[in-house]
């Protein structure tokens, strides 16, 4: 998986940027007033209401983003519109999700979808962005977008990223992630819709191709997903650019402490996917339906009761308070807003410590689909994660 992200630059704004921000603020207030006048339920908020972290590239990443993995056909468009109206400024997508065209900036360019995930209605992620941008509520440079280069495209990095940019119709990307498996993988193939082993070039070559995209201005920052410290170190040995972000599974049931501490020491920001423990992926990941869940953990529920919020909000705030960005996925309007509201909560030190010491630690997304005992470079989960 490879991802791409973008946001406004770091540092103090220039006079022109300040004027633009002020104009945007006025437009935001007008949109709110117009919405109230027509009895709309939308509540427009500026991106500044969501905390951000500065990447080693100088760009800033909003700490709460909308995840789009596993969203059903047609749902992503409405979820993205709702999220942006609610105040989200970070959208996480991927070519392999089969929904990037639902997130793209404008619907005018027709691009054939990967056969692996056809939609009966061609409603695009970029159409959602286009819709909100056209309302004048936010400007394009306020939105941070993440996408991913899938394992099957390591030999055609530039073409794959240009396809993603095409699907998203002109978005300027900030972070491109590199997948874990590089030689043989079992994951779905966006370009063919098939599953099965496939040979790819060395990760160092893939990374060099991503670095070239930064030089071209196609990508603002590049990073990795599902990499262990050992695998990142191997690439850093010959890299020109240090990864800006490392996206991995992280929540109180799988804190990923070793990786988190290592990344922090290297100045690499960590983004947590599945911050709620991926409760809707039990069948996909072959977990028992009654397996322990962070949402049902007594410590999480106790803190939620204390704060007067939901367990999901506790998990989201725990990730934000820890210093990671988080990507909760939802297509429900109320939950989308509640997830963003969680960023403003404060977990007391004793409760944060209790959440940060839950045992045992268990991956909810173990990565078995990236392991191939016969033909793959990683014949076991221990080889995949270097554990």
Per-residue pLDDT of 298-350, as tens digits, reads 999 999 999 999 999 999 999 999 999 999 999 899 999 999 999 999 999 99
Predicted local distance difference test score (pLDDT) of residue 14: 65
Question: Is residue 139 domain-resident?
Answer: yes
Task: Read off the pLDDT of residues 136-163 as tens digits, 9 standing for 90 and up.
Answer: 878 777 888 888 887 777 778 888 888 7
Report the percent of the chain where pLDDT is more than 90: 39
Q: What is the CATH number of the domain that holds 268?
A: 3.20.20.100
Domain contains 32: yes
Question: pLDDT tens digit string along 91-133?
Answer: 887 654 444 444 443 222 222 222 222 222 223 466 777 777 7
Query: Looking at 97, 253, 273, 378, which residue is catalytic?
Result: 97
Q: Please give the tally of structural domains in the chain.
A: 1
Spatial CA neighbour of 91 closest among 73, 106, 76: 76
Q: Is residue 5 part of a domain?
A: no
So what's the pLDDT on residue 194? 41
26 by Cβ neighbours in 10 Å (0-12 / 13-18 / 19+) ranks as exposed
Q: Tell me whether residue 278 is in a domain.
A: yes
Q: What is the mean pLDDT of residues 264-286?
A: 83
Does residue 101 form part of some domain?
A: yes
pLDDT at 203: 86
Over residues 6-34, mean pLDDT: 54
The SS3 call for residue 207 is helix
User: How far apart, in whole angstroms, are the C-alpha atoms of residue 76 and residue 128?
Assistant: 8
Q: 326 in a domain, yes or no?
A: yes
Evaluate whether residue 75 is within a structural domain: yes
In which domain, by residue range, is 182 found?
A: 15-385
Write out the two tokens for 360: 């045992």
- For residue 97, indicate whether it is catalytic: yes
Asked if 380 contacts 370 with a C-beta cutoff of 8 angstroms, the reply is no
CB 163 within 8 A of CB 94: no
Find where tokens 């799988």 sit: 254
2 phi/psi in degrees, rounded to 5: -130, 140
The answer to whether the Cα torsion of 113, 114, 119, 124 is positive or negative is negative
Mean pLDDT on 186-193: 40
CA separation for the pair 366, 384 (Å, rounded): 10
Query: Is it the case that residue 187 has pLDDT exceeding 60?
Result: no
Asked, for residue 225, whether it belongs to a domain, the answer is yes
Specify burial of residue 188 (Cβ count, 10 A radius: 0-12, 13-18, 19+).
buried
d(CA 371, CA 380): 6
| 45, pLDDT greater than 60 | no
150, 96 contact by CB (below 8 A): yes
Q: Is the pTM of this model over 0.85?
A: no
Element (H, E) at 326: strand 325-327
Instruction: Give the 3-state secondary structure of residue 248.
Output: strand
- Mean pLDDT for the chain? 75
199 neighbors 183 (Cβ within 8 angstroms)? yes
Query: Which has more pLDDT, 173 or 354?
Result: 354
Q: What is the pLDDT of residue 25?
A: 58
pLDDT at position 376 is 77
Write out the H or E segment, with its range, that includes residue 225: strand 224-225
């Amino acid at each position: 998986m490879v991802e791409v992200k973008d946001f406004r630059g770091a540092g103090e704004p220039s006079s022109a940027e300040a004027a633009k921000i002020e104009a945007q603020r006025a437009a935001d207030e007008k949109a709110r007033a117009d919405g109230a006048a027509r009895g709309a339920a939308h509540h427009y908020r500026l991106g500044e209401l969501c905390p951000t972290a500065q990447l080693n590239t100088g760009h800033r990443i909003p700490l709460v983003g909308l995840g789009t993995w596993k969203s059903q056909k047609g749902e992503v468009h409405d979820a993205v519109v709702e999220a942006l109206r609610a105040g989200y400024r970070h959208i996480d997508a991927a070519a392999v999700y089969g929904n990037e065209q639902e997130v793209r900036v404008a619907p005018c360019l027709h691009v054939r979808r990967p056969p692996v995930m056809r939609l009966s209605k061609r409603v695009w992620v970029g159409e959602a962005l286009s819709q909100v941008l056209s309302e004048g509520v936010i400007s394009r440079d306020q939105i941070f977008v993440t996408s991913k280069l899938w394992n099957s495209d390591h030999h055609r990095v530039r073409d794959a990223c240009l396809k993603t940019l095409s699907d998203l119709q002109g978005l300027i990307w900030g972070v491109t992630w590199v997948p874990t498996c590089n030689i043989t993988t079992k994951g779905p193939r966006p370009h063919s819709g098939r599953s099965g082993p496939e040979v790819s070039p060395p990760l160092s070559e893939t990374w060099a191709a991503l670095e070239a995209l930064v030089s071209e201005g196609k990508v603002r920052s590049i990073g990795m997903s599902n990499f262990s410290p050992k695998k990142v170190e191997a690439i850093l040995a010959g890299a020109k650019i240090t990864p800006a972000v490392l996206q991995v599974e992280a929540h109180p049931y799988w804190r990923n402490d070793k990786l988190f501490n290592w990344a922090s020491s290297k100045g690499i920001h960590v983004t947590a996917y599945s911050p709620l423990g991926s409760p809707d992926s039990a069948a996909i990941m072959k977990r028992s339906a009654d397996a322990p869940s962070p949402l049902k953990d007594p410590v999480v529920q106790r803190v939620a009761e204390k704060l007067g919020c939901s367990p999901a909000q506790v998990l989201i705030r725990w990730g934000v308070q820890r210093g990671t960005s988080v990507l909760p996925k939802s297509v429900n309007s109320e939950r989308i807003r509640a997830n963003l509201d969680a960023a403003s909560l404060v977990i007391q030190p004793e409760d944060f410590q209790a959440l940060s010491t839950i045992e045992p630690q268990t991956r909810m997304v173990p990565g078995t689909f990236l392991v191939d005992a016969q033909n793959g470079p990683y014949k076991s989960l221990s080889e995949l994660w270097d554990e």
